[in-house]
Chains A and B, each alone.
Chain A
Amino acid sequence: MHLTLKVWRQEPGQNGMFQTYEAPGISEDMSFLEMLDVVNERLIEEGTAPIVFESDCREGICGTCDLMIDGQAHGPEKATATCQLHMRKYNDGDHITIEPWRAASFPVIRDLAVDRSALDAIQEAGGYISAPTGSASDANLTPVPKDAADSAMDAAACIGCGACVAACPNSAAQLFTSAKVMHLNLLPQGQAERWKRTEAMVETMEEYFGSCTNHGECHEACPKEISLDFIALMNKDYVKSKIKNRKLSGQK
């Protein structure tokens, strides 16, 4: 098939603009990123710098790929990361617009690559259980109800791609943060640091990202279909943390 691509090109430190590229001879079995690989090889042969975009595992699990395709984070296929999108979703003659994630907290590095390190800052603020190596007791000493383990796993399936932020009209990171918070808060192992974790991660999130106004676009764009329920649970824990943590400070 023959496609026409409108691609965002941006040099570091400069303003970006759309460039149009023709992409003839694309096979429907190709993945979307393989289509871009082909376009890039042709650009190199012409002597034009290839389009920078990021990807790694191309299996939908590492969370590196991050394209805004026709205004949708990760493109038109539901529950699918960009790397798992295939060209059979498109028709001959289609025009496709490709942009980087759009969010002030994800500055553009070059072309379609953005800096998502703000997500790591949230994780660093408390996204862990303090269990130094060697200190663990036998794993079966702490039974975890199957429902709790399953819910925690539903949250932990988040791949940290940032599509939720890109899709949100407010560039909020509530879905990402709630997935990380609730993965740990739902487990017995995560209780000791529950309130401290929630407070620290939510407040770090607010330093970088916009506010949630319950649009739900994040869930629609999420390649792992992380549930909005986790945002509700996180909000509940955050309110509680304000009481629980204050109580702890009062004991000093």
Chain B
Amino acid sequence: MTGYSDVLDSKVPDGPIADKWTNHKFNMKLVNPSNKRKFEVIVVGTGLAGASAAATMGELGYKVKAFTFHDSPRRAHSIAAQGGINAAKNYQNDGDSVHRLFYDTVKGGDYRSREANVHRLAEVSVNIIDQAAAQGVPFAREYGGLLANRSFGGAQVSRTFYARGQTGQQLLLGAYSALMRQVNLGGVDLYNRQEMLELVVKDGQACGIVCRDVITGEISSHSAHAVVLATGGYGNVYYLSTNAMMCNTTATWRAHRKGAMFANPCYTQIHPTCIPSSDPFQSKLTLMSESLRNDGRIWVPDSFDESRAASDIPESDRDYYLERKYPAFGNLVPRDVASRNAKTVVDAGKGVGPLKNGVYLDFAEAIARDGEDTVRAKYGNLFDMYERITGENPYKQPMRIYPATHYTMGGLWVDYHLMTTVPGCYAIGEANFSDHGANRLGASALMQGLADGYFVLPYTIGDYLSTSLGHDPVGNDDPVFKDAIADVTDRTNRWLSINGTKSVDHYHRELGKLVWDYIGMERNKNGLEKAISEITSLEEEFHKNVRVLGSADTLNQSLEKAGRVSDFFELAKLKARDALVREESAGGHFREEHQTEEGEAKRDDENFAHVTAWDWNDEATPQTEHREQLTFENVALTQRSYK
């Protein structure tokens, strides 16, 4: 496994970082307007990245087919993002700039992202706000009618634009409306309730997909000149996460099995402020906005067997552990640091709540200082949501919080054009790995999804399409499509024939426990090796003993889930292997063996300043490791310190 970088060509253009994208846009080949209608492009997924890409390419004149497994494009999980979207507008005159956003993002990612991609992201961030405002996204405004900003973790400037606590919803409705406009104009054909189950490749190039209609069970193929995957992250490999119930890795995993390398699967963001689970049948976890840490103080009782109510525990018996350990940043340390510290105190037996699985986030001081009305004005909707879920009133007693999986920084490896290692197959948004390194900053996911979809992919895809001018897409009657349909049909029917004893959810839950315990907030060599062997045996049992009832020719939710969980099993094994070979700690990847004396993440820039990308072999042979060396010419690598 030497000579890692030979196969991976990032195609980052030459020249100074600030000029790369501008020059590259000029150098790329164009498709003339009358030729665009000759090209067909498939977009899978209609979240921020997918909807914005499909709408924009439709506007340009390409023949776009957009696929979603939801009943409507607007259901995609982008809709649940709360906090905001970053952009280097510098409307606050506080010293923000494209370079500063670039710098903060590279640093926040613990120096494991590709500089040129991040700089481009920062450059186009300003266009996103203009675009969204023009579409009618009701961003928060000052009384003079100009846009308002708030500040977010990991930045010292105010650059986050927001629409109450529903920024993701509003941006998605904007992208969705642009998409529906194209559907109305005929620029985009929309396929609802279609789940992509295979990427089809001919002569090494992506040429289409196979989908299952989740209502009728019909399996069909669709061909195109290029396929764009905008299908989100793999956070549900943990079973419990803040992701929506249906989020899954199947589209990206199927592409991986067809030759698209999977990069950095060990990088997962664990968000520190979620509501702890309350019983074994918990189906998902709910995020409470990070903004709560601005006014809430985090603490646990000093004693292990504390049984008093929070309000009865005197100050002298409390440990405000973040304030104690990080006097400079206190409760506002970055997400990975806050999460890991919560785990440490809970593991030590100081957890709070009926299951002793949380820490307190206390607003008593803020309420005493600013009054309950002020606190309600800032966080009222979050407090209400908390009370609805837990039945506890956070104005009277502290919230209980605990970290939960929230976002995955890893994903399909893409070059500067956002193309995977399968020519003609692109990955955008959370589905790719490119911009957040080992840790994503708050309010950057919305930015990246829309940057890719509105302003990057529609340019770069032309460079690829222009080379196939005059060629029709591979026909739907080609053997590659027939074979792919047969494969998908076999796979689907197999689940129904197993007739075992346990439900799909049972296995998903068990898998999630293993992934959380061994590949969660802290990892070590023994645990990871154990994870691989235990996941493998659970996977074998799953294939022998899962029970999927009903038939394949109708709406069958267990059947849908079986395929997704099966792909999660394979991904989980790769995630463990990736965590095992990354013998350092960086961002969301914390190896116990690699920490400073104070217990902080210790990077190894000499040996691990690279992207790990895994190449599929076959069922019997584990993936082969490749590396893309990361070079930092514009940002100096430093140890992150928040003390």
A69 within 8 A of B: no
A41 within 8 A of B: yes
Contact of B80 among A33, A62, A120 (CB under 8 A): A62
- Whether B70 lies near A64 (C-beta < 8 A) is yes
Which residue, A62, A136, A160, A189, has most C-beta atoms of chain B within 10 A?
A: A62
Contact of B141 among A37, A58, A136, A145 (CB under 8 A): A145
A100 within 8 A of B: no
- Whether A124 lies near B145 (C-beta < 8 A) is no
- Residues of chain A at interface, number, CB under 8 A: 79
Within 8 A of A (CB), among B132-164: 132-136, 138-147, 163-164
- Whether B133 lies near A47 (C-beta < 8 A) is no
- Whether A146 lies near B145 (C-beta < 8 A) is yes
- Residues of chain B at interface, number, CB under 8 A: 80
- Whether A34 lies near B281 (C-beta < 8 A) is yes
A61 within 8 A of B: yes
A138: chain B residues within 8 A (beta carbon):
130
**Closest residue on chain B to residue A79 by CB atoms:** B384
Contact of A131 with B166 at beta-carbon distance under 8 Å, contacts A37-B283, A59-B80, A113-B555 already known: no
- Whether A56 lies near B141 (C-beta < 8 A) is no
A128 within 8 A of B: yes
**Closest residue on chain B to residue A35 by CB atoms:** B281
**Closest residue on chain A to residue B551 by CB atoms:** A49
Contact of B558 among A27, A38, A44, A157 (CB under 8 A): A44
Contact of A84 among B169, B180, B181, B388 (CB under 8 A): B388
Contact of A124 with B70 at beta-carbon distance under 8 Å, contacts A133-B458, A142-B133 already known: no
- Whether B391 lies near A41 (C-beta < 8 A) is no
B405 within 8 A of A: no
Within 8 A of A (CB), among B175-226: 176-178, 180-181, 183-184, 192, 215
CB distance from A61 to the nearest CB of B (A): 5
Bound state CA distance, A184 and B286, in angstroms?
Answer: 30
B375: chain A residues within 8 A (beta carbon):
none
B278: chain A residues within 8 A (beta carbon):
27, 29-30
| Interface hit among A1-9, A148-156, A208-216 | A148-156
A-B contact count (CB 8 A): 213
CB distance from A223 to the nearest CB of B (A): 11
CB distance from B275 to the nearest CB of A (A): 11
Bound state CA distance, A59 and B404, in angstroms?
Answer: 15
**Closest residue on chain B to residue A149 by CB atoms:** B141
Contact of A120 with B244 at beta-carbon distance under 8 Å, contacts A44-B558, A45-B501, A59-B80 already known: no
A228 within 8 A of B: no
- Whether A57 lies near B147 (C-beta < 8 A) is no
- Whether B549 lies near A44 (C-beta < 8 A) is yes
Contact of A156 with B547 at beta-carbon distance under 8 Å, contacts A29-B391, A41-B506, A56-B70 already known: no
* Interface, chain A (partner B; CB < 8 A): 11-12, 27-31, 33-34, 37-38, 40-41, 44-45, 47-50, 52, 54-64, 77, 80, 84, 86, 88, 109-110, 113, 115-117, 119-120, 123-125, 127-140, 142-146, 149-150, 152-153, 156-157, 159-160, 183-184, 187, 189-190
A-B pairs, top 6 by smallest CB distance, nearest first, are A143-B145, A128-B177, A136-B134, A139-B133, A29-B278, A131-B134
